[in-house]
Amino acid sequence: MEKTGADGFDGFVTARWSALFHLARLLCGGDRHRAEDLLQEALVKLWFAWPKVADEAPEAYVRKIMGRAAARSARRRWWGERPVDRLPELAQTGDMSAAVAERSRLETALAQLTPRQRAAVVLRYYQDLSEKQVAAVLGVPVGTARSHASRGVARLRQILADVIDPVG
């Protein structure tokens, strides 16, 4: 794959679109439309920086842009419609239904975290970045990134436990 010029950029986007979109969706709490906007914004910024980052780490650059933008989104007061508390009944479609239901349950739980906690958890545990890398992406000290991830995981456990046992 050619690394420089428009062909290199197009090749990178074609090859990495799916993975980057999945990351954006997780960072946006499962909101597909916000995830598309987040990824498009990151790719526009990558386009302008492509000659500088093409030979180094374009995917890391995009992850950094998306992580910071997702964390900043906490400052916005309104994004449009909000997700509902309960998802509609899922159709049973064979073996994949359990995996889809579990993924939906996790995305719903992730959506309930603060944007900074969600970004830290997704980058740390989904993208498997080190605490130092998460801190660099979010532009915060390592201790702050560690704190966001720890509190996010604790909150996820609480949310998922409440879903399993809402009475207890």
Q: Specify the CATH number for the domain of residue 66.
A: 1.20.140.160
| pLDDT of amino acid 57 | 87
Please determine, for residue 120, whether its predicted confidence score (pLDDT) is greater than 50.
yes
pTM of this structure? 0.56
Q: Amino acid letter at 93? A: T
Domain membership of residue 90 (yes or no) is no
Which range has the worst mean pLDDT, 94-98, 101-105, 131-135? Answer: 94-98
The whole domain housing 9 covers: 5-74+96-164
Report, as an integer, the average pLDDT of 23-45: 89
Domain membership of residue 91 (yes or no) is no
Domain membership of residue 79 (yes or no) is no
**What's the number of domains the chain is made of?**
1
Please determine, for residue 32, whether its predicted confidence score (pLDDT) is greater than 90.
no
Domain membership of residue 44 (yes or no) is yes
